[in-house]
Copies of this chain bind each other. A is one copy, B any other.
Amino acid sequence: MRKRILPSILRVLMLGLAALSAAQTTPSADEAAIRAADAQWKKAVAGYDLTRTLAAYADDAIMMEPGAPAYVGKQALREQWARIMNDNYFALSWSVAALEASGDLGFTRGRYDVTYSIENRDLFDQVGKYVVVWKKLGNDWKVAIEIYNPDGPPKPHK
Contact = CB atoms under 8 A, between A and B. Distances in A.
A73 B142 CA distance: 29
Contacts of A100: 105
A116 interface: no
Interface in A94-109: 100-107, 109
Nearest to A12: B9
A109 B9 contact: no
B129 A107 contact: no
Interface stretch (A43-51, A58-66, A75-83): A58-66
Interface residues of A, number: 38
A8 interface: yes
Nearest to A1: B1
A131 B134 CA distance: 13
A138 interface: no
Contacts of A1: 1
B148 A149 contact: yes
Given A16-B16, A102-B102, A150 B5 contact: no
A150 B17 CA distance: 48
